[in-house]
Amino acid sequence: MTSRVPSSLARMVAARAFHRCEYCHAPQVATGQTFHIDHILPRRAGGRTSAENLGLACPHCNYAKARRTWAVDPAGSVTARLFNPRTDRWDEHFSWSDDYQQLKGLTTIGR
């Protein structure tokens, strides 16, 4: 967890996410990695360090997202906002392959 987020707030964010990455839903215990507290709207874009703007992210998802809030949809070259775990429903935008080896984006937001 990061020193920029008070430990009590970081613990609340992790508990609220059931200790799963809010982007890919990987369970922290199964990855053997320390998950990050992510500013959904980055601080550089005016995002606050508040429960409403924080999410739990595995290192892979956190580094892939970085400071971005928008990206090009690889399926259609359209710019789309990224998934927001506070306002979007995960199962509307993502699903796992039958063997749970690949996370599939179902929408422009999820891809």
Q: What is the pLDDT of residues 2-20, one digit of tens each?
A: 458 999 999 999 999 999 9
HSE at residue 69, side-chain half, CA atoms within 13 A, is: 11
* Segment 60-71 mean pLDDT: 92
End-to-end CA separation in angstroms for the chain: 27
Q: What is the pLDDT of residue 2?
A: 47
Q: Which residue has the higher pLDDT, 100 or 23?
A: 23
Q: Is 82 exposed, middle or buried (0-12, 13-18, 19+ CB in 10 A)?
A: middle
Q: What is the pLDDT of residue 63?
A: 94
pLDDT at 25 over 60: yes
Q: What is the pLDDT of residue 1?
A: 45
Q: What is the pLDDT of residue 4?
A: 84
